[in-house]
Amino acid sequence: DTAVSQTPKYLVTQMGNDKSIKCEQNLGHDTMYWYKQDSKKFLKIMFSYNNKELIINETVPNRFSPKSPDKAHLNLHINSLELGDSAVYFCASSPGRGTHNEQFFGPGTRLTVL
């Protein structure tokens, strides 16, 4: 059984388009995250939700909007895509507050903006 799943795996699109990435976890975790991994492999947190509530919102352009319909799902919508948005986006989950926040990552979505 897949613990953290993301769709799509690959996303190729034109500049200016709007796209969404979906994430689901079946681990029963309370907290979910979006990370961006750039071409140098640096992994940077973007957002975190705990039980559908936004708890971490790093310095991310407001073209990026996360949505958590329930604690098992965290989607990422990106408006007006730019070349610099090209990266691999990882969804992750963790048991949440009071733990060591050990992360369980999805397989990633490679976004290429042309």
Partner 1 sequence: TQLLEQSPQFLSIQEGENLTVYCNSSSVFSSLQWYRQEPGEGPVLLVTVVTGGEVKKLKRLTFQFGDARKDSSLHITAAQPGDTGLYLCAGVTTDSWGKLQFGAGTQVVVTP
Q: How far is the CB of 32 from partner 1 (least distance, A)?
A: 13
Nearest CA to 73 out of 108, 6, 23 is that of 23
Enumerate binding residues for partner 1 (CB under 8 A). 4, 40-45, 48, 50, 55-56, 90, 92, 97, 99-108
Give exposure, 62-79, as e/b (b: 16+ Cβ within 10 Å): eebebebeebbbbbbebe
Q: Looking at beta carbons only, is 12 or 15 nearer to partner 1?
A: 12
Q: How far is the CB of 59 from partner 1 (least distance, A)?
A: 13
Nearest CA to 36 out of 102, 108, 95 is that of 108
What distance, in Å, lies between the first and last C-alpha atoms of the chain? 34
How many residues appear in the chain?
114
Q: Looking at beta carbons only, is 81 or 91 nearer to partner 1?
A: 91
Q: How far is the CB of 106 from partner 1 (least distance, A)?
A: 5
Q: What are phi and psi of 92, to 5 degrees?
A: -145, 160
Q: How far is the CB of 48 from partner 1 (least distance, A)?
A: 7
